[in-house]
Amino acid sequence: GENVEQHPSTLSVQEGDSAVIKCTYSDSASNYFPWYKQELGKGPQLIIDIRSNVGEKKDQRIAVTLNKTAKHFSLHITETQPEDSAVYFCAASRAYAGKSTFGDGTTLTVKP
């Protein structure tokens, strides 16, 4: 089955700096790669996703890049703000065909 590895497990940055979280996946048939943000006391919420026919996607301060050959994808947050502090999860799945496999999560802390 699919295996997703996520690094780092914790990340601390100063407000205004950039943050990068990286994931690798094992199943070359995976074609959908979402990122979820989980704030304290809440369930995860989708913040951005990318499909395998696209190399990069951007939404304001967040972007995701995908390297299919190397089987890795990354989340980039620029100009970080304290409200970006949360746990971030990457995931991989085959769209239309089944369950998502999640990484272990990254706890991001943005210091004011």
Partner 1 sequence: DVKVTQSSRYLVKRTGEKVFLECVQDMDHENMFWYRQDPGLGLRLIYFSYDVKMKEKGDIPEGYSVSREKKERFSLILESASTNQTSMYLCASSEATTNEKLFFGSGTQLSVL
Contact footprint for partner 1 (CB under 8 A): 1, 6, 9, 32, 34, 36, 41-46, 49, 89, 93, 95-105
Residue whose CB is less far from partner 1, 88 or 110: 88
In angstroms, the CA 105 to CA 11 distance is 11
Is 107 within 8 Å of 97 (Cβ atoms)?
A: no
Closer CB to partner 1, 36 or 73, in the complex: 36
Query: Residue 12 or residue 45: which is nearer to partner 1 going by CB?
Result: 45
Cα–Cα dist 100/21, whole Å: 18
Residue 32: CB minimum distance to partner 1, A: 5
The owner of tokens 């919420």 is: 45
